[in-house]
Amino acid sequence: MRIKSVNVIPIDLKLKEPFSIANETVDIGENVFLKIETDKDIIGWGCATPDSVTSETKETVIDCFNNIIKNILIGEDPLRINFINDILDEKLKGNPSLKAGVNMALYDILGKKADTPLYKLLGGYRDKIETSVTIGLNPVDTMVEKAKSFVSKGFTCLKVKCGMDADQDIEVVLAIRNVVGPNIKIRLDANEGYTLEKALRVVETLEKLGADVEILEQPTPAKYLYALKEVTSQCPVPIMADETVLTLRDSLKAVKMEIADMINIKLMKIGGITNAIKANTYAEIAEIPVMIGCMNESMGAMAAGVHFACAFKNVQYADLDSALDFEEDIVKGGATYKDGYVIPSDKPGLGVEVDL
């Protein structure tokens, strides 16, 4: 089997409402779909979601694809995924979301060739995983109403964005806990917004008042590794690294230095499934659990994260909710939601149907 054609299709997906975190507000999810066709009539779909975090834009993804990726892929055997991944790492510095899009398209082809859903092909540890749903920064009342809405739809884990105003963060979490009750999990994500002192004050205050926070994600700036390590050593709740672990090398460094209790692997940051397997394996050996997260991803990209999360035991957490945020996605299938869980498709490969 050989790759006979490759195409890139940029799609902007409008969010239902603007989404704010500690360092930005967005209202559009930029997604770049990749279509890889083989001479055996098998089509693989992938999707890149460029972001300022990965130092990419829609334009840079398209440019790199047309000028570099296309020439590499045409004529190659799509099942030689590790070989192609190695070439991309050598020829294309940076550009992790573009690499991720290509990589997941190749795994989609592999699954279709094997007539097997990807999560089973990767190991099939579980057939669903509990996912958090994210509440962006807003006035307190708005965030509380969002929490109530998610819980009414059956979700059992809330990720609350914070990091702008420590006092308001405390107020928000206490208010949310009051309305959702004790059985709903609450995770906090500061997106680098706290100092060491503020992070400890927020968590210690919330714990003292019975808010029962499950995880605090990326409390301090990504570049200050020892600040994150210090928070981890002092904080009464587990600390998760996110922006600190952009690349595969970052993830391995974080595990080796023990700077956090767990790490958040995002396919768009790390460059796809192949690199995510390496990072998760290393973390598992070190007994550090992993979360699989997402960017502003269409289901065309997020489905790969769902399949990955369900394939491996060490992936103990998931934040796979981006596809819920759009007014209209162009992808059907891939995954579904039920009772707080996200469930991968049982169709071959990623199980996505792309309306392009």
Which tens digits make up the pLDDT trace of 180-228? 999 999 999 999 999 999 999 999 999 999 999 999 999 999 999 999 9
Listing DSSP states for 235-277 in one string gives -SS-EEESTT--SHHHHHHHHHHT-SSEEEEEHHHHTSHHHHH
Beta-strand (E) ranges in 39-107? Answer: 43-48
110 close to 81: Cβ distance less than 8 angstroms: yes
Options 3.30.390.10, 3.40.50.10420, 3.40.50.300, 3.40.462.10; CATH for 3-115 is 3.30.390.10
The overall average pLDDT reported for the chain is: 96
11 close to 298: Cβ distance less than 8 angstroms: yes
User: Span 223-249, mean pLDDT?
Assistant: 95
The residue whose two tokens read 């190991």 is 123
The residue whose two tokens read 């550090």 is 288
Tell me the HSE value of 317 on the side-chain side, using a 13 A CA sphere.
Answer: 29
At residue 84, the pLDDT reads 97
Render pLDDT for 247-267 as a digit per residue (tens, 0 to 9).
999 999 999 999 999 999 999
Q: How far apart are CA 192 and CA 220, in angstroms?
A: 4
How far is CA 238 from each of CA 8, 141, 149, rounded to the nearest angstrom?
Answer: 40, 27, 27
Short-list 124, 63, 117, 133, CA closest to 94: 63
Residue 145: which residues within 8 A CB-CB, separation 6 or more?
A: none
At residue 23, the pLDDT reads 72
Q: Using 50, 70 and 90 to split pLDDT, how confident is the model at 20?
A: confident
At residue 22, the pLDDT reads 77
- Phi/psi for 187 (5° steps) reads -115, 145
196 close to 216: Cβ distance less than 8 angstroms: no
User: Tokens representing 236?
Assistant: 């009464």
At residue 115, the pLDDT reads 98
User: Span 172-181, mean pLDDT?
Assistant: 98
Looking at residue 330, the DSSP 8-state letter turns out to be S
Does residue 21 surpass a pLDDT of 90? no
| Three-point CA angle 157, 192, 235, nearest 5° | 65
User: Span 273-301, mean pLDDT?
Assistant: 97
Short-list 121, 111, 124, CA closest to 46: 111
At residue 19, the pLDDT reads 87
User: Tokens representing 290?
Assistant: 């992993």
Looking at residue 187, the DSSP 8-state letter turns out to be E
At residue 25, the pLDDT reads 87
335 close to 342: Cβ distance less than 8 angstroms: yes
User: Tokens representing 137?
Assistant: 């920064």
Domain edges within the chain: 3-115, 119-354
Render pLDDT for 93-102 as a digit per residue (tens, 0 to 9).
889 999 999 9
How far is CA 318 from each of CA 94, 135, 212, 305, 340, rounded to the nearest angstrom?
Answer: 25, 15, 19, 9, 11
Short-list 298, 297, 280, CA closest to 289: 280
Q: With both helix axes pointing from N to C terminus, report the angle between 248-257 and 225-234 in degrees, rounded to the nearest 10.
A: 40
Is residue 115 helix, strand or coil? coil
Amino acid identity at 163: G
**Span 119-354 CATH architecture:** Alpha-Beta Barrel (3.20)
144 close to 172: Cβ distance less than 8 angstroms: yes
Classify burial at 100, counting beta carbons within 10 Å of its beta carbon; exposed 0-12, middle 13-18, buried 19 or more: buried
Q: Using 50, 70 and 90 to split pLDDT, how confident is the model at 92?
A: confident
Question: Percentage helix, strand, coil, to 5, in the chain?
Answer: 40, 25, 30
Q: How far apart are CA 350 and CA 348, in angstroms?
A: 6
282 close to 15: Cβ distance less than 8 angstroms: no
Render pLDDT for 332-346 as a digit per residue (tens, 0 to 9).
999 999 999 999 999
169 close to 163: Cβ distance less than 8 angstroms: yes
At residue 24, the pLDDT reads 78
Give the active site residues.
Answer: 161, 266
